[in-house]
Amino acid sequence: MSTATDTLIPTNHLFSGGCGDMVGFANAGFRPRFAANHDPAAVATARANFPGVRARQENIHSLDMRRLPEAQVLVGSPICFEASPSGGRATPKTQLSLDDAAGDGETNENSDEEDEKATPAAWSLTRATAWDLLRAAEVAVAARRPYDVIAGENVPGFARWPLFNAWLRAFNDLGYTPHLTSVNAAHLESGEFGNAPQHRHRLLFVFTRKGLPKLDLRPRPLSLCPHCGLVRGTQRWETESRRRVGTYGITYIYVCPNRRCGHLEVKPVLRPIRDSIDWSLPTRKVSAGKPGKTFRAYADETVRKVGLGRARFDGEPFIAVLRNNCTTQSLDEPIGTVTAAGTHHMLVIPGESLGDCRVRMLSVRERARAQTFPDTHYFQGNATEQTRLVGNAVPPTVGSWLAQRIAAVL
C-alpha cells in the first residue's frame, strides 16, 4: 500500500552539515533519503531531525557513489570557507558571465583578530569537494539512473576558482544544463521560514537534465517602490546583456517591475534581528570582563565599539559587530553573515557608564534563527560543533525557495 511519502520527490544530500538544505527541501515537498558528512556532529544532527534518512559518516572524497539510494535530486554545497571573505579575502566584485561559464549558447568580514588567508592547499580542498558532486552525477549517469537535478550553493567567490568554467562544462557534457543565480538570504522568503534576518550573499547553482522545462531562478523579493508601493522587485545588473555572479548593491540592484514609474530602484523589505533575540539569557557588565574563571578584559576595539553604539543608539540595545571595518548596527535590521566561527555578533544593553553596559554574544539558537532554522531543529555536538553547523548551513528559507523552483520543472 502506498503512503504519503511515496508521492514526495526523493533527494540525496552530500555535505549535509546542519541540515539546512534538508529542512528546506522537506518543507517544499521533497523527501530526503540519504545524508553524508565527515563530521560526527553533522551526522548525529541528520539522524536526530530526520529519523528515516540514511545518514552516513564518511569523507565525501571516499564515499562510494554507487551505494547512494536512487533519487531524482542530488543536493550538495561544497566547502566555501576558502572562497569567502573570512577565509580568502575574496573581493565581492567577482563577476562571471553564465554564457561564458557554461561554454554554450561585501565588506571584509574577518573577525577583529586576523584570519589566515586561503592557501593553495585550501583551494585544492574546495576544488575537490566541487568535483565530488560531478563524480556523483557521473556514477548515476553511468548506472542509467541519472539525477534529474543537481543543486547547491556557495559564496560568490567560488566563481574565482580557475576551473569553475570547466566544472560547469563537465556537467554540460554529462547532459545537464547549468543555471546560476546570485541571491541574498535577507531577500528571499519561502513558506513558514520567511526571509532571513541576516545578510548572506550566495551563488546558487542548479544543473537540470536536458529535456526538462526551463528553470526560473529569478529572485523577486517583496520590495518598496517610492511610487508604486509594495512590489516584487526584479534584478538589474550593471551589465544588462549578461547574467553575472555578484553581490547585491555592488553588481546588481532591484527595480520596480512597473513601466509607469520608469522602473525605479526599489529596496527589498527586510526582517529585523530583534525578533530572534532571547531576552531571558544572562548578560554581564563590560567591566566584569569576558566569561571565564579568571579575569580577562574585553579588547580595546570591542570596548570602543560598545562606546560608539551606546552614543549612537541613545540607550537602546544594539549589536556590536566584532569584525574588521564594522562597528555597530540596530536590532531593527538584519545582521551580517553568520559564520562557522560564530563570534562576530555581540548584543549590547547600554548602562549608566561604559563599564555598566551589559553584553553577551548571540547564542547558538539565536544564530540558528538568523539562519531561519525552526526552534524544533536540534543541533548535536558541543557548543563549538553546534556553532560550526549553524554557520556553515544553507538557510532553510534558501533551500525551500530553491526546492520550490526545482519542483516546478519536475
Above 90 in pLDDT, residue 212? yes
Whether 289 is covered by a domain: the verdict is: yes
Give the residue among 349, 346, 382, 348 at the shortest CA–CA distance from 367.
Answer: 346
* Whole-number pLDDT of residue 230: 97
Is residue 249 in some structural domain?
no
Asked if 391 contacts 364 with a C-beta cutoff of 8 angstroms, the reply is: no
Same domain, yes or no, for 201 and 59?
yes
Which has more confidence, 84 or 74? 74
Burial 75-97 (b: 16+ CB within 10 A, else e): bbbbbbbbbbbbbbebebebbbe
69 contacts: CB under 8 Å, gap ≥ 6 = 10, 12, 33, 34, 54
Q: What secondary structure does DSSP assign to 373-397, as a single string? A: --TT----S-HHHHHHHHHHSPPHH
Determine the 3-state secondary structure of 114 from DSSP: coil
Answer yes or no: is pLDDT of 81 > 60. no
The model's pLDDT over 158-190, given as tens digits with 9 standing for 90+, comes to 998 899 999 999 999 999 999 999 999 999 998
Residue 3 has pLDDT above 60, yes or no: no
Other C-beta atoms closer than 10 Å to the C-beta of 306 total 24
Q: Rounded to whole angstroms, how far apart are CA atoms 180 and 185?
A: 15
From CA 397, how far away is CA 409, in angstroms rounded? Answer: 19
How many domains is the chain partitioned into structurally?
Answer: 2
Query: What nine digits make up the cell of 375?
Result: 526552534
Residue 136 is part of a domain; what is its CATH number?
Answer: 3.40.50.150
Within-domain flag for 372: no
Is the pTM higher than 0.75? The answer reads yes
Rounded mean pLDDT, 365-388: 97
- Same domain for 61 and 151, yes or no, is yes
CB 307 within 8 A of CB 354: yes
Same domain (yes/no): 202, 314: no
Residue 252 lies in a domain: no
228 annotated active-site: no
Tell me: do 334 and 402 sit in the same domain: no
**Domain residue limits at 148:** 7-218+387-407
Q: How far is CA 363 from CA 75, 275, 303, 397, in A?
A: 28, 14, 20, 20
- 80, 225, 326, 357: the active-site residue: 80
Q: Are residues 179 and 317 in the same domain?
A: no
Q: Nine-digit cell at 272?
A: 529585523
Q: Compute the distance between CA of residue 118 and CA of residue 219 in angstroms, rounded to an integer.
A: 31
Q: What does pLDDT average to over the chain?
A: 88
pLDDT tens profile 216-251: 999 999 999 999 999 999 999 987 646 679 999 989
Q: What is the pLDDT of residue 5?
A: 53
Q: Which residue has the higher pLDDT, 95 or 32?
A: 32
Residues 109 and 146 in one domain: yes
